[in-house]
Structures are given as structure tokens and as C-alpha cells.
Amino acid sequence: GENVEQHPSTLSVQEGDSAVIKCTYSDSASNYFPWYKQELGKGPQLIIDIRSNVGEKKDQRIAVTLNKTAKHFSLHITETQPEDSAVYFCAAPAGGGGADGLTFGKGTHLIIQP
Amino acid sequence: DGGITQSPKYLFRKEGQNVTLSCEQNLNHDAMYWYRQDPGQGLRLIYYSQIVNDFQKGDIAEGYSVSREKKESFPLTVTSAQKNPTAFYLCASSWLGTGELFFGEGSRLTVL
């Protein structure tokens, strides 16, 4: 099955700086790569995703890049704000088609320092 | 409002007792999932169901059971056979083939 590695486990940045979280996956057939944000005591929410036919996708201050050859993808948050503090998870399909659920990385605790 | 409802939000149980966590969705999604979350471990798949009356084991199914009698409902039973049941449990749903999961707010189970 799919294996997803995520780094770093904790990331502390100054407010206004950029944050980058990186993930690698093992199954070359995977074609969908979402990122979820989880606030304390709540369920994860999708913030951005990318499919394998594109290399980069942006949505305001967040972007995701994908390198299929190297089997890694990254989340970029620019101009960080206090409300960006949360745990972020990357994921990839547990089975190639996606109907078997997602395999998640272990998460990155992002701390925005005022 | 459309969404996924998990209940109860907090649950305490004595060792040796079974407990059932509820998950209901009104998004008309075909597939439903149960994940377990432990600190520093990410989310691990327990069971999933792509269609009514059918379900599959995930990576950590031992000590858990599920049913899918209705499209909207996917309850999870944590049995006394689960050796370390204290955790945060998340239910999710999706349309088949899209990959995107929609999560509930979770249920925190504590075994005393």
C-alpha cells in the first residue's frame, strides 16, 4: 500500500514569513495529493489539493507543488498569519483509484510566532 | 446544513466494555471511512465502506467492527478486544473516485 512521509513534525516561523512542509509518497500510481488543516479538537479540513496532471496550484497565500518523478509534493504558505497556526496533514490515495480512502502523513504542527 | 455528524463528542468507558460511535452524513456520499488519530501518529484507517451492506478493513481493524445498513450511517463499535482504545476517532465521507474526504468533528474516547 501507499506510504506517506511528512517533514518537519514541528515548524515555527515568524508572522509574515513563509512556511514550507514537504511530503514524499511511495506509489507511483497515486494521482491525487490533498493537504488538510486541523485545528485543536476539530476534524481536518481540506485546504488545497493537486492532481498529477499539473505541477503547481495556488489559492491566495497557499500553494502546492508536485514532482511526480521524485514522488514528492510540498505545501507553501506565504505571509503567514496567526490563524495559520494548526496541524497540517498531507495525504495520497491508499489505493491507486482513491476509493479506498487516503493514507496520511504524520502531520506538521505549524506555529506562527507573533 | 449538509455535513457529517459524529456523536458523542466525548465518551468515557470502563475497560471490558464495548462502545459504539455514531456517524451520519447528509451529503449523499457513497463512501464512508473511520480513522483513528493518536498524538504524533497522523490518521490511520480503521474501516471503510464504498456501498451499503459492504465494508473493508483498513490498516488497523483489529478490535473494531462496523456496519453499513443505510447510505447515511456508518457506526463504529470499539470492542473490548481493542487493546488501546483511548484515541480521537474521525469519520469521513466522499464521492467514489474523487479522493476528497470530508471529515466530521471527531469523537474522543477515553478508557478508564
In this structure, the number of other CB atoms found within 10 A of the CB of residue B44 comes to 17
- Phi, psi of A84, rounded to the nearest 5 degrees: -80, -15
Q: Nearest Cβ partner of A106 from B42, B48, B58? A: B42
Whether A102 sits inside 8 A of B99 (CB atoms) is: yes
Which residue of chain B comes nearest to A107, CA vs CA? Answer: B42
pLDDT at B40 (0 to 100) = 81
pLDDT at B6 (0 to 100) = 97
Cis peptide before B75 (omega within 30 of 0): no
Which residue of chain A comes nearest to B55, CA vs CA? Answer: A100
Is the CB of residue A15 less than 8 Å from the CB of residue A112?
A: yes
Which residue of chain A comes nearest to B9, CA vs CA? Answer: A41
- A66 min Cα distance to partner chain B (Å): 17
CA–CA gap between residue B8 and residue B78 (Å, rounded): 13
pLDDT surpassing 90 at residue A52:
no
What is the mean pLDDT for each group of 10 consecutive residues in chain B (112 residues)? 90 93 96 94 94 95 97 96 94 89 96 90
In this structure, the number of other CB atoms found within 10 A of the CB of residue B93 comes to 27
Is A100's Cβ below 8 Å from some Cβ in B?
yes
Based on DSSP, count helices (H) and strands (E) in chain B, helices before strands: 0, 11
Q: Mutate which of B90, B101, B107, B108 to test chain A, going by most A C-beta atoms within 10 A?
A: B101
Which residue of chain B comes nearest to A93, CA vs CA? Answer: B99
Determine the average pLDDT of the residues in A3-24.
97
Mark which residues 4-63 of B lie under 8 Å from A by CB: 4, 6, 31, 33, 35, 40-45, 48, 50, 56, 58-59
Under 8 Å CB pairs connecting chains A and B tally to 64
Is the CB of residue A71 less than 8 Å from the CB of residue A82?
A: no
* Helix, strand, coil abundance in chain A, percent, nearest 5: 5, 55, 40
Span A61-108, pLDDT tens digits: 999 999 999 999 999 999 999 999 999 999 999 875 567 889 999 999
